[in-house]
Amino acid sequence: MIRYAVGIEDPERRLKVANVIVNIMAQMHPRLRETADYKQKLWDHLYIISGWELEVDGPYPPPPRDILASKPRQVPYSAGKIRFKPYGRNIERIIEMAIEEEDGPQKDAIIRNIANHLKKSYLNWNRDSVNDELIFEHFRELSDGKLKLDDDFRLNETSDILSKNKKKKFTGKPRENNYSHKNKNWKNKPQQ
Protein backbone atom coordinates (compact mmCIF):
# COMPACT_ATOMS: atom_id res chain seq x y z
CA MET A 1 0.00 0.00 0.00
CA ILE A 2 2.82 2.38 0.81
CA ARG A 3 4.57 1.65 -2.49
CA TYR A 4 1.28 2.39 -4.23
CA ALA A 5 0.98 5.69 -2.33
CA VAL A 6 4.53 6.68 -3.28
CA GLY A 7 3.66 6.15 -6.97
CA ILE A 8 0.59 8.43 -6.93
CA GLU A 9 1.31 11.67 -8.78
CA ASP A 10 -1.57 13.81 -7.47
CA PRO A 11 -0.45 15.27 -4.07
CA GLU A 12 -4.02 15.55 -2.68
CA ARG A 13 -4.86 11.97 -3.56
CA ARG A 14 -1.47 10.79 -2.18
CA LEU A 15 -2.28 12.54 1.14
CA LYS A 16 -5.73 10.88 1.28
CA VAL A 17 -4.18 7.45 0.67
CA ALA A 18 -1.53 8.15 3.33
CA ASN A 19 -4.28 9.05 5.83
CA VAL A 20 -6.07 5.79 5.01
CA ILE A 21 -2.84 3.85 5.55
CA VAL A 22 -2.27 5.56 8.93
CA ASN A 23 -5.84 4.70 9.98
CA ILE A 24 -5.31 1.07 8.99
CA MET A 25 -2.07 1.01 11.00
CA ALA A 26 -3.97 2.38 14.00
CA GLN A 27 -6.61 -0.34 13.65
CA MET A 28 -3.95 -3.04 13.43
CA HIS A 29 -2.32 -1.82 16.67
CA PRO A 30 -5.11 -0.48 18.91
CA ARG A 31 -2.92 -0.46 22.03
CA LEU A 32 -0.77 2.20 20.44
CA ARG A 33 -3.63 4.62 21.07
CA GLU A 34 -2.79 4.51 24.78
CA THR A 35 0.39 6.50 24.12
CA ALA A 36 0.23 10.28 24.02
CA ASP A 37 1.69 10.88 20.58
CA TYR A 38 0.47 7.77 18.78
CA LYS A 39 -0.59 9.61 15.60
CA GLN A 40 2.89 11.07 15.17
CA LYS A 41 4.43 7.63 15.71
CA LEU A 42 2.23 6.19 13.00
CA TRP A 43 3.20 8.94 10.58
CA ASP A 44 6.87 8.41 11.48
CA HIS A 45 6.50 4.71 10.72
CA LEU A 46 4.83 5.52 7.43
CA TYR A 47 7.77 7.70 6.38
CA ILE A 48 10.33 5.14 7.57
CA ILE A 49 8.63 2.22 5.80
CA SER A 50 8.55 4.22 2.59
CA GLY A 51 12.27 4.84 2.89
CA TRP A 52 11.51 8.58 3.10
CA GLU A 53 10.24 8.41 -0.51
CA LEU A 54 6.66 9.36 0.42
CA GLU A 55 6.22 13.07 -0.18
CA VAL A 56 3.02 14.27 1.48
CA ASP A 57 1.99 17.39 3.30
CA GLY A 58 0.96 15.40 6.37
CA PRO A 59 0.21 16.66 9.87
CA TYR A 60 3.75 15.75 11.03
CA PRO A 61 7.10 16.25 9.31
CA PRO A 62 9.17 13.19 8.41
CA PRO A 63 11.59 12.12 11.15
CA PRO A 64 15.27 12.77 10.46
CA ARG A 65 16.92 9.99 8.48
CA ASP A 66 19.76 9.55 10.95
CA ILE A 67 17.30 8.57 13.70
CA LEU A 68 17.54 4.89 12.77
CA ALA A 69 21.34 4.89 12.66
CA SER A 70 21.83 6.72 15.96
CA LYS A 71 22.59 4.79 19.12
CA PRO A 72 20.71 5.49 22.35
CA ARG A 73 22.44 7.61 24.96
CA GLN A 74 24.50 5.66 27.45
CA VAL A 75 22.93 5.34 30.88
CA PRO A 76 25.07 7.18 33.40
CA TYR A 77 26.05 4.91 36.26
CA SER A 78 27.38 6.20 39.54
CA ALA A 79 31.13 6.15 39.66
CA GLY A 80 31.21 5.63 43.41
CA LYS A 81 32.50 2.31 44.62
CA ILE A 82 30.29 0.32 46.98
CA ARG A 83 32.37 -0.70 49.97
CA PHE A 84 30.29 -3.72 50.95
CA LYS A 85 28.14 -5.10 48.15
CA PRO A 86 25.68 -7.04 50.35
CA TYR A 87 24.54 -3.72 51.82
CA GLY A 88 24.42 -1.58 48.70
CA ARG A 89 24.93 2.12 48.10
CA ASN A 90 21.66 3.25 49.68
CA ILE A 91 22.65 2.07 53.16
CA GLU A 92 25.87 4.08 52.80
CA ARG A 93 23.76 7.16 52.08
CA ILE A 94 21.53 6.45 55.08
CA ILE A 95 24.59 6.16 57.30
CA GLU A 96 25.87 9.50 55.95
CA MET A 97 22.51 11.06 56.86
CA ALA A 98 22.57 9.45 60.32
CA ILE A 99 25.99 10.96 60.96
CA GLU A 100 24.51 14.42 60.33
CA GLU A 101 21.56 13.77 62.68
CA GLU A 102 21.61 15.54 66.06
CA ASP A 103 22.48 13.37 69.06
CA GLY A 104 19.50 12.07 70.96
CA PRO A 105 17.05 9.17 71.24
CA GLN A 106 16.00 9.46 67.58
CA LYS A 107 19.59 9.15 66.37
CA ASP A 108 20.13 6.17 68.71
CA ALA A 109 17.05 4.44 67.24
CA ILE A 110 18.29 5.12 63.70
CA ILE A 111 21.71 3.67 64.55
CA ARG A 112 20.16 0.49 66.01
CA ASN A 113 17.90 0.07 62.97
CA ILE A 114 20.84 0.51 60.60
CA ALA A 115 22.88 -2.14 62.44
CA ASN A 116 19.99 -4.63 62.35
CA HIS A 117 19.42 -3.84 58.68
CA LEU A 118 23.06 -4.61 57.97
CA LYS A 119 22.63 -8.05 59.53
CA LYS A 120 19.42 -8.65 57.59
CA SER A 121 21.07 -7.61 54.30
CA TYR A 122 24.10 -9.76 55.04
CA LEU A 123 21.81 -12.75 55.61
CA ASN A 124 20.31 -12.27 52.15
CA TRP A 125 23.72 -13.09 50.69
CA ASN A 126 25.11 -15.55 53.23
CA ARG A 127 22.67 -17.58 55.33
CA ASP A 128 25.17 -20.16 56.48
CA SER A 129 27.23 -17.99 58.77
CA VAL A 130 26.84 -14.53 60.14
CA ASN A 131 29.00 -13.25 62.94
CA ASP A 132 27.62 -10.29 64.87
CA GLU A 133 31.17 -9.01 65.44
CA LEU A 134 31.63 -8.91 61.65
CA ILE A 135 28.44 -6.85 61.33
CA PHE A 136 29.66 -4.47 64.05
CA GLU A 137 33.00 -4.12 62.24
CA HIS A 138 31.26 -3.37 58.92
CA PHE A 139 29.09 -0.82 60.74
CA ARG A 140 32.18 0.92 62.12
CA GLU A 141 33.85 0.94 58.69
CA LEU A 142 30.79 2.23 56.87
CA SER A 143 30.36 5.06 59.35
CA ASP A 144 34.12 5.73 59.50
CA GLY A 145 33.83 5.29 63.28
CA LYS A 146 31.48 8.29 63.56
CA LEU A 147 28.46 6.26 64.72
CA LYS A 148 28.63 4.37 67.99
CA LEU A 149 26.46 1.54 69.24
CA ASP A 150 25.79 1.11 72.94
CA ASP A 151 28.02 -1.49 74.58
CA ASP A 152 24.98 -3.53 75.68
CA PHE A 153 23.33 -3.44 72.22
CA ARG A 154 22.61 -6.83 70.67
CA LEU A 155 21.56 -7.44 67.09
CA ASN A 156 18.34 -9.28 66.33
CA GLU A 157 18.68 -13.05 66.38
CA THR A 158 19.39 -14.69 63.03
CA SER A 159 16.50 -17.11 63.49
CA ASP A 160 14.09 -14.21 64.05
CA ILE A 161 15.27 -12.42 60.91
CA LEU A 162 15.07 -15.56 58.79
CA SER A 163 11.61 -16.50 60.09
CA LYS A 164 10.28 -13.05 59.10
CA ASN A 165 11.69 -13.47 55.59
CA LYS A 166 10.03 -16.84 54.98
CA LYS A 167 6.77 -16.87 53.10
CA LYS A 168 3.72 -17.92 55.05
CA LYS A 169 2.51 -21.37 54.15
CA PHE A 170 -0.97 -21.76 52.76
CA THR A 171 -3.06 -23.61 55.33
CA GLY A 172 -6.47 -23.35 53.72
CA LYS A 173 -8.26 -26.02 51.75
CA PRO A 174 -6.90 -26.37 48.20
CA ARG A 175 -9.25 -25.25 45.46
CA GLU A 176 -10.71 -28.05 43.37
CA ASN A 177 -10.60 -27.63 39.64
CA ASN A 178 -13.01 -29.11 37.15
CA TYR A 179 -10.72 -32.07 36.53
CA SER A 180 -10.09 -33.35 40.05
CA HIS A 181 -10.68 -37.03 40.75
CA LYS A 182 -13.73 -36.07 42.87
CA ASN A 183 -15.46 -34.54 39.89
CA LYS A 184 -17.44 -36.81 37.56
CA ASN A 185 -15.81 -35.21 34.51
CA TRP A 186 -12.22 -35.91 35.55
CA LYS A 187 -11.89 -38.56 32.83
CA ASN A 188 -12.91 -35.99 30.21
CA LYS A 189 -9.92 -33.73 30.91
CA PRO A 190 -8.69 -32.24 27.65
CA GLN A 191 -5.33 -33.56 26.49
CA GLN A 192 -2.53 -31.02 26.58
Average pLDDT, the chain: 82
154-180 tens-digit pLDDT: 888 887 877 776 654 445 555 554 444
**Which of 67, 101, 123 is a domain's end point?**
67
Q: Which residues of 86-113 are buried (b: 16+ CB within 10 A; e: fewer)?
A: ebeeebeebbeebeeeeeeeeebebbbe
Q: Is residue 79 included in any domain, yes or no?
A: no
Same domain, 143 and 96: yes
Q: Which domain holds residue 115?
A: 88-165
23-41 tens-digit pLDDT: 999 999 888 888 888 899 9
In angstroms, the Cα distances linking 90 to 46, 81, 83, 87, 98 are: 46, 12, 11, 8, 12
**Cβ neighbours of 43 (radius 10 Å):** 24
> H helices of the chain, where?
2-7, 11-28, 38-49, 88-100, 105-125, 132-142, 158-165
Same domain, 53 and 9: yes
37-86 tens-digit pLDDT: 889 999 999 999 999 999 999 899 998 888 777 787 888 776 678 888 88
Q: Is residue 171 included in any domain, yes or no?
A: no
- Say what the pTM is: 0.47
Same domain, 98 and 158: yes
17, pLDDT greater than 90: yes
Question: Quick one: pLDDT at residue 168?
Answer: 46
4, pLDDT greater than 70: yes
Same domain, 52 and 92: no
Q: Is residue 133 included in any domain, yes or no?
A: yes
Whole-angstrom distance, CA of residue 18 vs CA of residue 94:
57
Same domain, 60 and 110: no
Whole-angstrom distance, CA of residue 41 vs CA of residue 62:
10
* Number of domains forming the structure of the chain: 2
